[in-house]
Amino acid sequence: MTISARTTREDGPQRSTARAAAADRSLRSAGDLIAAGLVAPAHRAALDRVAERYAIAVTPDVARLIDPADPHDPIAAQFVPDSRELDRQDVERDDPIGDLAYSPVEGIVHRYPDRVLLKIVHVCPVYCRFCFRREMVGPKGLGTLSAEALDRALAYIAARPEIFEVILTGGDPLMLSARRARALTRSLAAIDHVKVIRWHSRVPMVDPARITVAFAQALRAAGKAVYVAVHANHPREFSPAAEAALGRLADAGIVLVSQSVLLKGVNDDAETMAALMRAFVANRVKPYYLHQADLAPGTAHFRTSIAEGQALMRQLRGRLSGLAQPTYVLDIPGGEGKVPVGPDYSGPGEVTDYRGGRHRYPPEAIEEP
């Protein structure tokens, strides 16, 4: 039987005091979540079993966004553990997108000819319950890449002039200190053929105070294009503090793009997804990818079908300008790369508009009078 991680309740004085005490630190266990009023005490045993397998972390900023009275709260669904995570389907994989098959040296994933992933850290400020690297990240993982391993990874990049772009990921690479982020940026900037440095992160949304003006400046590199891909899945994630952090990055000259995951019960309706994309654009973040949820263990309750995602994208086409349209993509299991799986608007001799109307193309010739 599925046990919901949340329940409707009234806060008494003791629970309110416990929530206040937990407000200034990250929540990392079922006990912490109970003390903060985000989980019913009756569910502790079930969630302790989840915690034995998968990391838990909810920052104070995220905890403040959760409505504990809503059993379907979209923020809680992303970060509060659920007993369904222990239900593994046969199609699910520990390494669903095949990182390990394309890792020539520790810390590097070289799947595409002109770009590599550099997995610099294996910890995050929060742990998404649908994470495709959930078997590899967390306090029990590898921590930060050692100095020796980083040297080998940088040497690998430097020895391959075809590498145009380095994508910093993990874990969450913005968990580095400003000093270490600056040092890494300078090391990559010293490699002449690397022209683009891209950081993938949830930090601006879930721990925005980390993104100080000094931190934003630490990511800059003279003569290089620097991007930050910001991960958010629901418009409520755009708190005033998160919007301010995005502003500090944009004001520092960092180009911002978005990443989101299509999640059942979180953002799988046109109204929510449209609001999310508008929130990105309003904060100078260009919508980039909308990911089909990967086949990570224990995540079936989050996954929609591709057909459902395509129907959603058709609805967005009529609601949003092109500036706010993400590309709907699937990471092919096993490591064969991303492919767009958005709806097809053209067929033999015709095109389909966003309302579903079909039109001949090229149109029939018009006879002049």
User: Residue 145 gets which letter from DSSP?
Assistant: P
Q: For the CA atoms of the chain, what is the radius of gyration?
A: 22
User: Residue 228 gets which letter from DSSP?
Assistant: E
Cβ neighbours of residue 244 closer than 8 Å, sequence gap 6 or more: 208
User: Residue 363 gets which letter from DSSP?
Assistant: P
How many Å apart are CA 367 and CA 364, to the nearest integer? Answer: 9
How many Å apart are CA 282 and CA 302, to the nearest integer? Answer: 27
Catalytic residues: 111-112, 115, 124, 128, 131, 133, 294, 331, 338
Inter-residue contact 277 to 326 (CB < 8 Å): yes
What SS3 class is residue 105? coil
Where do runs of H (alpha helix) occur along the chain? 13-22, 30-35, 44-53, 60-65, 74-79, 147-158, 178-189, 203-206, 213-218, 240-251, 270-282, 306-319
Comparing C-alpha atoms, which of 366, 343, 368, 369 is closest to residue 356? 343
Burial class from Cβ neighbours inside 10 Å (0-12, 13-18, 19+) for residue 264 reads middle
Inter-residue contact 210 to 172 (CB < 8 Å): no
Encode burial over 147-185: b for 16+ CB neighbours within 10 A, e otherwise: eebbebbbebbbebeebeebbbbbbbbbbbebeebbebb
